[in-house]
């Protein structure tokens, strides 16, 4: 707001705290002030300015029980320093809305827009067990009938908080599991190890919450052995949705600095989206990684247990069946258009999101 006011009044940008800006040929940094740790003084996000909100915004078919869906960032920042993660946007200082403000946002979205599921998109929703418990207790005390999903680190969950979250409508937790190799976890500067991940996912399943496992393939040090470990790990834990990213050294992450000037491919700027290998660890090629990528996902999703799970979800919840039907019809129509235009093949190359779906 201070920047906007300065631009409007034509006043000196040097007086806007914590601003990095270009001044002719120079990059200037204006002195900062302590970050406000509580965000409550900010107005609610202007959801009313989003065209056709919330109906135009649809996550993957099986990523929510009942729509419409909206997102809330209940906090900003993450104090951890995983080497692959670019935290330069929100930084390491955690700021948050109070549980009351988050609850009010949920009620507002529910009553004004009919939203029935919230996706919390915080870097680390479960940064504080106390705040999470307070939010859950508010939801339960007011009987708010909404479901929600969030992110957590495996070392921040315990059975008691998971059970409370389930009661308060938590439907899915995304855990950054990354790999089935302790060596790689250590190299990533992740504090937890595979055993901890296994325990957290087990507790989550016992609480009746679904786990979405976030994995990556191709981190420095990856080899045939670690890939086999990841594949086996993903298959033995109680998890039915696996999101596998192709390791991308994002600028801003510590690993980018380590790898800069090595064999990152020249055109990497266009391909930095987690869907392309722009770098391969020693002894492996991008083609090999791509082959493993397909194999891991295929082996994971083709299992009977996973098939039964999605069939059960589809049969139990007519919303899922409808979404699947709509997606199938859309896909068939696209295919038909492609054939009629003489191009054959698929219009859209399948992505991890499609595979999730």
- In the complex with ligand SF4, the residue whose CB is nearer, 139 or 154, is 154
Q: Which two tokens stand for residue 217?
A: 């393939």
- Give least dist CB 76 to ligand SF4, A: 11
- Sketch the per residue contact string, 158 through 177, with ligand SF4: x for CB under 6 A, - otherwise: ------------------x-
Q: What are the C-alpha distances in Å from 100 to residues 16, 42, 71?
A: 30, 14, 17
Alpha-carbon gap, residue 49 to 22, rounded angstroms:
30
Burial profile 298-307: b = 16 or more Cβ within 10 angstroms, e = fewer? eebeeeeebe
- In the complex with ligand SF4, the residue whose CB is nearer, 68 or 176, is 176
Among 124, 150, 280, 296, which residue sits at the site for ligand SF4 (rule: CB under 6 A)?
124
DSSP string, 169-213: TEEEEEEEEE-S-HHHHHHTT-S--HHHHHHHHHHHHHTT-EEEE
Can you list the positions of beta strands (E) in 50-169? 69-72, 75-76, 95-96, 117-120, 147-152
- In the complex with ligand SF4, the residue whose CB is nearer, 74 or 85, is 85
Among 153, 246, 292, 320, which residue sits at the site for ligand SF4 (rule: CB under 6 A)?
153
- Give least dist CB 274 to ligand SF4, A: 13
- Give least dist CB 213 to ligand SF4, A: 14
Share of the chain residues as helix, strand and coil, in percent rounded to the nearest 5 = 45, 15, 40
- Pairing of the two strands 117-120 and 147-152: parallel
- In the complex with ligand SF4, the residue whose CB is nearer, 90 or 113, is 90
Alpha-carbon gap, residue 259 to 267, rounded angstroms:
15
Burial profile 273-293: b = 16 or more Cβ within 10 angstroms, e = fewer? ebebbbbbbeebebeebbebb
State the number of binding residues for ligand SF4 (CB under 6 A).
10
- Give least dist CB 193 to ligand SF4, A: 15
Q: Is 157 in the site for ligand SF4 (CB under 6 A)?
A: no
Nearest residue to 170 via CA among 156, 199, 150, 200: 150
- Give least dist CB 295 to ligand SF4, A: 25
Among 123, 172, 222, 356, which residue sits at the site for ligand SF4 (rule: CB under 6 A)?
123
- Give least dist CB 216 to ligand SF4, A: 10
Q: Residue 246 CA to chain centroid, in angstroms?
A: 14
Alpha-carbon gap, residue 235 to 237, rounded angstroms:
6
- In the complex with ligand SF4, the residue whose CB is nearer, 94 or 241, is 94
- Sketch the per residue contact string, 215 through 254, with ligand SF4: x for CB under 6 A, - otherwise: ----------------------------------------
- In the complex with ligand SF4, the residue whose CB is nearer, 101 or 124, is 124
- In the complex with ligand SF4, the residue whose CB is nearer, 153 or 231, is 153
* Inter-residue contact 122 to 73 (CB < 8 Å): yes
- In the complex with ligand SF4, the residue whose CB is nearer, 190 or 323, is 190
* Inter-residue contact 153 to 176 (CB < 8 Å): yes
- Pairing of the two strands 241-246 and 210-217: parallel
Nearest residue to 203 via CA among 156, 250, 244: 156
- In the complex with ligand SF4, the residue whose CB is nearer, 75 or 226, is 75
Q: Which of residues 7-46 bind ligand SF4 (CB under 6 A)?
A: none
- Give least dist CB 87 to ligand SF4, A: 5
Q: Which of residues 69-88 bind ligand SF4 (CB under 6 A)?
A: 78, 80-82, 85, 87
Q: Which residues bind ligand SF4 (CB under 6 A)?
A: 78, 80-82, 85, 87, 123-124, 153, 176
């Amino acid at each position: 707001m201070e920047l906007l006011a300065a631009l409007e009044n034509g006043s000196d940008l040097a007086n806007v705290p914590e601003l990095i800006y270009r001044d002719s040929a120079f990059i200037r940094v204006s002195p900062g002030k302590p970050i406000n740790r509580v965000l409550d003084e900010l107005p609610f996000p202007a959801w009313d300015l989003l065209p056709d909100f919330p109906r135009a915004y649809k996550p993957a078919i099986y990523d929510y029980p009942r729509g419409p869906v909206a997102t809330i960032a209940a906090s900003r920042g993450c104090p951890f320093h995983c080497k692959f993660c670019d935290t330069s946007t929100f930084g390491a200082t955690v700021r948050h809305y109070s549980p009351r403000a988050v609850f009010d946002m949920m009620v507002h979205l529910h009553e004004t827009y009919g939203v029935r599921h919230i996706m919390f998109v915080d870097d680390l929703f479960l940064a504080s067990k106390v705040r999470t418990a307070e939010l859950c207790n508010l939801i339960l005390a007011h009987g708010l009938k909404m479901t929600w999903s969030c992110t957590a680190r495996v070392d921040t969950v315990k059975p008691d908080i998971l059970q409370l979250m389930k009661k308060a409508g938590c439907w899915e937790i995304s855990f950054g599991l990354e790999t089935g190799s302790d060596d790689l976890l250590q190299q990533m500067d992740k504090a937890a190890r595979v055993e901890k991940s296994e325990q957290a996912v087990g507790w989550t399943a016992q609480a009746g919450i679904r786990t979405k496992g976030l994995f990556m393939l191709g981190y420095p040090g990856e080899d045939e052995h670690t890939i086999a470990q990841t594949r086996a790990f993903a298959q033995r834990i109680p998890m039915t949705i696996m999101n596998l990213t192709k390791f991308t050294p994002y600028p801003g992450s510590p690993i980018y600095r380590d790898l800069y000037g090595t064999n990152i491919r020249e055109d990497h700027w266009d391909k930095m989206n987690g869907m392309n290998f722009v770098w391969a660890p020693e002894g492996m090629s991008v083609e090999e990684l791509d082959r493993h990528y397909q194999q891991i996902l295929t082996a994971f999703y083709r299992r009977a247990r996973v098939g039964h799970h999605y069939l059960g979800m589809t049969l139990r919840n007519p919303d899922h069946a409808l979404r699947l039907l709509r997606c199938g019809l859309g896909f068939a129509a696209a295919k038909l258009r492609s054939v009629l235009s003489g191009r054959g093949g698929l219009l859209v190359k399948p992505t991890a999101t499609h595979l999730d779906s």
